[in-house]
Amino acid sequence: MAQLYDRAADVVRAIFDSRIATPATLDPDHYFPNGKRFVARWAAIRDEAFAAAGMLNRVPRFHDVMPAQADISANDGRDWRVFIMKAYGVTLAENLRRAPTVAALLAEAPEVKSATFSFLAPGKHIPEHRGPFRGILRFHLMLSMPSDNSGLPACVMNIDGMPYRLADGESLLWDDTYPHEVWNRSEHVRVALLLDVWRRDMPVDMAVLSRGILFATQTVIRIGGMPHSG
């Protein structure tokens, strides 16, 4: 299954790479202006993530949701847990009810196709990998970033060879088809809100292909379901 996923992702990436040439990080004012709404409410969103963290042992690990990507989730015996509220346009109503601030913001931002609280265990390393296609962009909103001994953010995200350290309330919009890895070099859980945002200004053929991929993914989710929390 993992090999099939990797081959399909390689083909899709190659198609998008040939038609869309943008840098690894992008201007949120242009590509995701609604991101400001999420940033403005980051403290309330953090409270909802902390409430979910109170039952963290019942929140699925990433490879429970995506078994084909166990190589980046189950690689070191440390947890990467994901509390999914929306996945590729499919709302997980039970989880979303536990995050009313996020729910209200999503209602105002239909371009957001996925919304997840991400919990990285102390010492967790997500090795370098690439996302499957450029039809969506990734928005990181940091909710709880541990500090290192010098007071700097202890969790580093390397995107296309560049390190990024986001403090609480800071955000980044980026293209996850570029090589990236994450390392939580601390003794505390790192908590972030991850949003997948529809890429605006795509060529028509790439927009059509992206909608097809989203529809196929939604169909798989609705048929097979997705692990809930609680």
Question: Dihedrals φ, ψ of 219, to 5°?
Answer: -65, -45
**Three-class DSSP category at 20:** coil
pLDDT at residue 99 greater than cutoff 80: yes
More confident position, 17 or 157: 157
**pLDDT at residue number 220:** 84
Helix, strand, coil in percent for the chain, rounding step 5: 40, 25, 35
pLDDT tens-digit series, residues 143-170: 999 998 888 899 999 999 999 999 999 9
Let me know if 167 is exposed, middle or buried by CB neighbors in 10 A (0-12, 13-18, 19+): exposed
The answer to whether residues 160 and 180 touch, using CB atoms and an 8 Å cutoff, is yes
Distance CA 82, CA 91 (A): 15
Domain ranges for the chain, please list them.
Answer: 2-224
Pick from 119, 92, 120: nearest CA to 106: 92
Distance CA 184, CA 155 (A): 4
Superfamily of 2-224 according to CATH: B-lactam Antibiotic, Isopenicillin N Synthase; Chain (2.60.120.330)
**pLDDT at residue number 131:** 87
Distance CA 83, CA 228 (A): 8
More confident position, 2 or 162: 162
- Mean pLDDT (whole number) for 199-220: 93
**pLDDT at residue number 157:** 97
**pLDDT at residue number 226:** 64
